[in-house]
Amino acid sequence: MTVSIKTDTDIAGMRIAGRLASEVLDYITPFVQPGVTTGELDRLCHDYMVNVQGTIPAPLNYAPSGHTPYPKSICTSVNNQVCHGVPGDKVLKSGDIVNLDITVIKEGWHGDTSRMFAVGEASIQAKRLMQVTYEAMWVGIARVKPGARLGDIGHAIQHFAENQGYSVVREFCGHGIGRKFHEDPQVLHYGKPGTGLVLEAGMIFTIEPMINAGRRDIRQMPDGWTIVTKDRSLSAQWEHTVLVTADGFEVLTVSAGSPAMPDRVRQAA
């Protein structure tokens, strides 16, 4: 495993890319309403990235080994879709929940983030799942500092989510990021404290737990990309790109419209 340590110049580029990715989510928020299609959300985000920001949508035509090229500019994962939902003709209706996953490239640097949205009026159960998943992400982020280990992050997320009665998807994880979309290390959202890679200042990676209301088992849809829960239970995901600093962490994917750090995490910090 080769984990790159970013220089001050690298980090400055990553701050810009991270902020721009988050600003796409700020821009699209008012459009996430009953009656809109996921394809329309993709078109709006694409045009904003390319024509307003001057960024490149990283997912478009992205083709890791064994996959056909991804056909759209964002991922839209609705209800029981865990991740990598492909935008299309699906019309969002009141009560749906949807994850919008944005990755932009600016001056060669990648910014990667996602948020959950309730369409219209979601159920109490759906809103609780979204909130617990958001807090789980932040519980993991709060463990980031030099000398900590990746297992500390995964354990904190797993312990928090499972104590709330939810399950953690195992097959997908966070990842290092920089000039490449996906770099080392892999950041698992489960694990044992005191195990795994030792964190060093200058490392940048994503923390992006996928939390299911039912069992953790998943399956892939015939499109080769979309992942769903096997038991059709709801799933939620949030994602930030995080820098390990000299004395803790800095979240790079923040903007004016970013939700605040949860009170329980702030109070524990």
| Distance in angstroms (rounded) separating the CA atoms of residues 111 and 157 | 22
pTM (predicted TM-score): 0.97
The reported pLDDT for the residue numbered 267 is 77
Residue 64 φ/ψ, nearest 5 degrees: -65, 165
pLDDT band at 266 (very low <50, low <70, confident <90, very high): confident
Report residue 80's pLDDT band, with 50, 70 and 90 as the boundaries.
very high
Question: In 32-152, which ranges are E strands?
Answer: 56-57, 75-78, 81-83, 97-106, 109-118
pLDDT of residue 269: 66
As a whole number of angstroms, the distance between CA 139 and CA 153 comes to 8
Strand blocks (E) in the chain: 56-57, 75-78, 81-83, 97-106, 109-118, 167-168, 174-176, 183-187, 204-207, 210-212, 218-220, 227-229, 235-237, 240-244, 249-251
**% the chain with pLDDT above 90:** 95
Torsion region of 247: left, alpha or beta (phi above 0 gives left; psi -120 to 50 gives alpha): alpha
Q: Which of 196, 114, 186 has the alpha carbon at shortest distance from 149? A: 196
pLDDT over 70, % of the chain: 100
In the chain, domain spans: 8-268
The CATH-assigned architecture of domain 8-268 is: Alpha-Beta Complex (3.90)
pLDDT at 133 over 80: yes
Q: What's the chain's average pLDDT?
A: 97
DSSP 91: B
The torsion angles phi and psi of 239, rounded to 5 degrees, stand at -145, 135
